[in-house]
Structure 1
Amino acid sequence: GDVTLAANQVLLQFVYLASYAMDGFVFAAESLVGQAMGAKAVAQLRRGASVTAVWAFGSAIVMAAGFWIAGPFVIDVMAKDPAVQQAARLYLPHMALAPLLGALAWMLDGVFIGATRTKDMRNMMILSFLGYCGLVLLLLPSFGNHGLWMAMNGFFILRGVSLALRYPALERVAAAP
């Protein structure tokens, strides 16, 4: 319905905010990993990926706490209809989890872009999207809009895990003569 649609649109702004905030770490990862790959320096690659990951996850924790604490206030600022405010608050916990569950995917996007491994990114995106579709089919009928948000967070997890599984290949390429 209209109220759920409006609430979802308000909550998507939280996801956009989290992803834009992570962009700084993603850009740093791109640069550091690109330099390491060009230098064929595995230790430098690992350091670039790990330092940006620490900062990304630290920021994700702060954002998640901020969404949880300030989320109701932000919802009230963004939506004036009481029904939309109530609906958005109902799904807010999913948004509080989004930065935590999406941080690995966003950070590894920067790592893979810096390593110019776009084929891996494409393939893992396809797998993650298929997983997302499965989650939607599984969760939406039983949980409604909660199922949709759970599927989105599941997509973030799938993206992060699938890229993490491909990460060792980056180190092998960096170590190759």
Structure 2
Amino acid sequence: MNKKILDIALPNIISNITIPLLGIVDLALMGHLGEVDFIGGIALGGTIFNFLYWGFAFLRMGTSGITAQAYGARKLNESILSLGRALLVAAAGSILILLLQKPIALLSFNYIDSEASVETIARSYYNIRIWAAPATISLYALTGWFIGMQNSKIPMTIAIICNIINISLSAFFVYGLNLDARGVALGTVIAQYCGLILASFFIWRYYRRLFKYWTNRGLLKIAELKHFVLINKDIFIRTLCIIFVFTFFTTESASSNKTILAVNSLLLQFLFIFSYLMDGFAYAAEALVGRFVGAQNRKNLLTTIRYLFIWGIGISLGFTLIYALAGNSILSMLTNNSETIHAASPYLKWLILLPILSFASFLYDGIYIGATASVYMRKTMMAATLLVFIPVYFGLKDILLNHGLWIAMLAFMLSRGLFQAFYFKKAILIKFK
């Protein structure tokens, strides 16, 4: 079972690590331009796209769970039709975003309270990166489908190549053409379309035989469309809660001052590094749990979950040690601004606690997605957001200021895992007849 987990997890870990690496490089490019405004501008622009694109993350999660269960049950027609339904939603969402890009910008920058110099940089970043929407959203669907088909090597290859292109182009545009934040955005747009082309090539190369099971009637089958929509509706609401928490985190940081915004933007990279690594095992959970639920193999399901948590405990302890010993060194790699590094140091203690308090939430996400237990995903995430994150923050903010914001984030991550553990039998084991 360990081999099955690692065969899926390791390629996803490699591809996922490139995602925070890209964010780190973007911040480092801005952090070495000498002005803290550039870090804040990228952070605010990134927050808007997190809100937009994370809202479509349900396509990756819903598609992987549905596809994995079809794979386990050997329903090859549903395997390929699940991709078609996801791409239909991706196309509709992309068109909507591009048509509404100006109202989205107006609403976003009116909502986010930041200094004028930071907002100007964020706007220039937004106006370019928005054109990556069709590629970015389609890649969510394609990645979920590959994972559901038990193939994590293709998403790994796409992620590595795209991020190499992205980093190389961004560095060239920033330092070679002096495009500052606009260069980072342009590098992202080009790289995302390269990823879409690669994904299309891999489907044609390795899966074109499945298209003999494709029918337009099957694609638009009411019962299956309803099932797809209901699962993704709950995942969408669950994702909106995450978007709310991270958007709220950034906007509260921005409302303090630009130094706190820069500090929290840099420190969030510690969370993202850990989360993307843990997501490698969460993706393994999606694929294997979905497969064993589809095949009605309860024994292998429970064995998989046990091994996943053993890996989770070990990795979280390792990251705790790394952050405790090398936190300031990591900060120094992100920026050479001594004032920002000094301001960030008091908050490193919360990052040390983060891995051990949050690892279960990532693993349970993968388990629930694989089992398509979307109703309970929604319930637990709403509880963690509304009953934990918000009350903790508003209870502590006047006393502990930015420390209260970090404590609220830790409480949110911990409570997610606890709520999901509580509902495990009702949400997961009920799938077995």
The alignment status of 1:120 with 2:120, answered yes or no, reads: no
Instruction: Report if aligned partners of 2:373, 2:428 keep a CA contact under 8 Å in 1.
Output: no
> 2:314 matched to which residue of 1?
58
Q: 2-side partners of 1:132 and 1:124: how far apart?
A: 12
Q: 1:18 aligns with which of 268, 271, 274?
A: 274
> 2:395 matched to which residue of 1?
138
SS in 1 for 2:366: helix
Which of the pair has the greater relative contact order for Cα pairs under 8 Å at 6+ separation?
Answer: 1
Q: 2:405 aligns with which of 148, 151, 160?
A: 148
Q: 1-side partners of 2:428 and 2:298: how far apart?
A: 6
Instruction: Report if aligned partners of 2:264, 2:344 keep a CA contact under 8 Å in 1.
Output: yes
Q: 1-side partners of 2:301 and 2:427: how far apart?
A: 9
Q: 2-side partners of 1:134 and 1:148: how far apart?
A: 11
> 1:99 matched to which residue of 2?
355
The one-letter code of the counterpart of 1:137 is F
Identical positions, percent: 31
Deviations 1:56-82 (A, max 9, x none): 221111111111111110101212222
Report how far residue 171 of structure 1 moved.
4.7
Q: 1:79 aligns with which of 320, 335, 338?
A: 335
Instruction: Report if aligned partners of 2:358, 2:413 keep a CA contact under 8 Å in 1.
Output: yes
Q: 1-side partners of 2:366 and 2:397: how far apart?
A: 31
> 1:36 matched to which residue of 2?
292
Deviations 1:64-111 (A, max 9, x none): 111111111010121222221012111011111111111000010000
Q: 1-side partners of 2:264 and 2:284: how far apart?
A: 31
Q: 2-side partners of 1:68 and 1:132: how far apart?
A: 25
> 2:246 matched to which residue of 1?
none
The one-letter code of the counterpart of 2:300 is Q
Instruction: Report if aligned partners of 2:371, 2:428 keep a CA contact under 8 Å in 1.
Output: no
RMSD of aligned C-alpha atoms?
1.3
Q: 2-side partners of 1:156 and 1:173: how far apart?
A: 25
Structure 1 stretches of at least 4 aligned residues deviating more than 3 Å after TM superposition: none
The one-letter code of the counterpart of 2:410 is N
Higher-Rg member (1/2): 2
Unaligned runs of 5+ in 2: 1-256
Q: 1-side partners of 2:428 and 2:368: how far apart?
A: 11
Q: 2:426 aligns with which of 146, 169, 177?
A: 169
